[in-house]
């Protein structure tokens, strides 16, 4: 059986992205991420996904230093993604500089805009989740109709154009309405990926098709639905895992990779990291059956409050996004 860790997808700028990436949101102590990264690289992962917001970049930096020093892997054989958080919307290069310093790197392979919103923050992006006195989120721009998120993307373009700090740029958590606002305003460099929540319970085929028809590769986060792995309870995933003699996690990853998308998996369990790397050859028909699970009964697990109003479907508690309809 082929290994998911060996599959690469071509980006619109001609570069390649490994189709299986290790997620690095800490489950508990952020320092645990160091061992997770070392374990993953030894198991064949070549793609590490992180963000300033996760607070794990320093520990990823320690892991990278160790694997480079021990000659386990070279920098150029890894693909490393980081992201600029909305409270840094005014100064993404400063955010990238902080990430690079913590990671101990001269460049990342991919720099993403984490969310298309502008939260209030100081020059160091603090506080990351700013609140007004009444407890509501403190924005620097109207979260539904504002356009400052486009200014942030333009700054990412400038970083790509004028520095060597990143090889590619992209976006995350962009809905179709937000893409429709951004794409006509791009100066020169289109986003190579859109990183979104995607799994059999949340197929979002309209958004996937919209991106793919414009050459934007989909990077699927929460392939098993995040903490508690609710997606693994889907009976069809269990059935396919038995049929192909792999773990349910490998079915959840294959659902994306065989459809030409990147899957980001995360685990605090080192033995799980080592053993969720195979790529079973699920049939076209089975892939379609997995897709139908969420068409009938969609579930979104990441419903962060700053995502309200972005125009996503099935956003829990959202009333604002209907304004886009």
Shortest distance, position 231 Cβ to ligand NDP, whole Å: 7
Q: Which is nearer to ligand NDP, 62 or 197 (CB)?
A: 197
Query: Does the footprint of ligand NDP cover residue 277 (CB under 6 A)?
Result: no
Structure token pair of residue 144:
């539904």
Judged by CB under 6 A, the residue of 132, 269, 283, 292 near ligand NDP is: 269
Catalytic residue, from 16, 45, 54, 221: name it: 54
Q: Contacts with ligand NDP: how many residues (CB under 6 A)?
A: 27
Structure token pair of residue 252:
């959840």
| CA–CA gap between residue 166 and residue 110 (Å, rounded) | 6
Query: Does the footprint of ligand NDP cover residue 172 (CB under 6 A)?
Result: yes
- Angle (CA) 63 69 70, round 5°: 90
Spell 84-119 as b/e; 16+ CB within 10 A means b.
bbbbbbbbbbebbebbbebbbbeebbbbbbbbbbbb
Q: Which is nearer to ligand NDP, 24 or 277 (CB)?
A: 24
Judged by CB under 6 A, the residue of 268, 274, 287, 324 near ligand NDP is: 268
| CA–CA gap between residue 240 and residue 113 (Å, rounded) | 35
CA distances from 111 to 17, 147, 222, 244, 292 (A): 13, 20, 19, 36, 32
153 is catalytic: no
Dihedral, CA atoms, 181, 184, 185, 187, nearest 10 degrees? 150
Q: Which is nearer to ligand NDP, 162 or 200 (CB)?
A: 200
Is 114 marked as a binding-site residue? yes
Q: Which residues in the 202-241 window bind ligand NDP by CB under 6 A? A: 221-227, 229, 232
Q: Which is nearer to ligand NDP, 250 or 286 (CB)?
A: 250
Shortest distance, position 215 Cβ to ligand NDP, whole Å: 20
User: Is the four-CA dihedral 185, 191, 194, 195 of positive or negative sign?
Assistant: negative
Spell 300-311 as b/e; 16+ CB within 10 A means b.
bbbeeebbbbbb
| CA–CA gap between residue 278 and residue 244 (Å, rounded) | 10
Site map (CB under 6 A) of ligand NDP, residues 20-59, x = contact: ---xxx-x---------------------x----------
Query: Does the footprint of ligand NDP cover residue 91 (CB under 6 A)?
Result: no
Q: Which residues in the 128-147 window bind ligand NDP by CB under 6 A? A: none
Question: Binding site residues for substrate, as ranges?
Answer: 114
- Residues near ligand NDP, by CB under 6 A: 23-25, 27, 49, 114, 172-173, 195, 221-227, 229, 232, 249, 264-269, 272, 302
Active-site residue list: 54
């Amino acid at each position: 059986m082929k290994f998911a860790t060996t599959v690469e997808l071509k980006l619109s700028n001609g570069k390649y992205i490994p189709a299986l990436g290790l997620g690095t949101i800490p489950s508990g102590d952020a320092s645990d991420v160091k061992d997770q990264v070392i374990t993953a690289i030894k198991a064949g992962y070549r793609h590490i996904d992180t963000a300033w917001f996760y607070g794990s970049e320093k520990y990823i930096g320690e892991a990278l230093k160790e694997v480079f020093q021990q000659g386990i892997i070279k920098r150029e054989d890894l693909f490393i993604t980081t992201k600029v958080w909305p409270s840094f919307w005014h100064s993404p290069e400063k955010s990238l500089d902080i990430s690079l310093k913590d990671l101990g790197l001269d460049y990342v392979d991919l720099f993403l805009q984490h969310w298309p919103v502008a939260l209030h923050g100081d020059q160091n992006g603090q506080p990351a989740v700013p609140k007004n006195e009444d407890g509501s989120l403190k924005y620097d721009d109207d979260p539904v109709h504002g356009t400052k998120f486009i200014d942030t993307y333009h700054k990412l373009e400038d970083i790509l154009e004028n520095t060597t700090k990143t090889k590619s740029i992209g976006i995350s958590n962009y809905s179709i309405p937000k893409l429709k606002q951004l794409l006509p305003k791009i100066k020169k460099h289109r986003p190579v990926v859109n990183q979104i929540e995607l799994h059999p319970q949340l197929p979002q085929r309209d958004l996937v098709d919209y991106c793919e028809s414009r050459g934007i590769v989909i990077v699927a986060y929460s392939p098993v639905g995040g903490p508690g792995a609710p997606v693994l309870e889907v009976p069809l995933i269990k059935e396919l895992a038995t049929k192909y003699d792999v773990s349910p996690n490998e079915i959840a990853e294959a659902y994306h990779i065989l459809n030409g998308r990147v899957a980001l998996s995360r685990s605090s369990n080192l033995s799980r990291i080592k053993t969720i790397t195979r790529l079973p050859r699920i049939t076209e028909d089975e892939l379609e059956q997995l897709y139908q699970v969420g068409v009938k009964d969609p579930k979104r697990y990441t419903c962060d409050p700053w995502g309200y109003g972005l125009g996503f479907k099935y956003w829990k508690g959202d009333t604002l996004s209907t304004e886009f309809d």
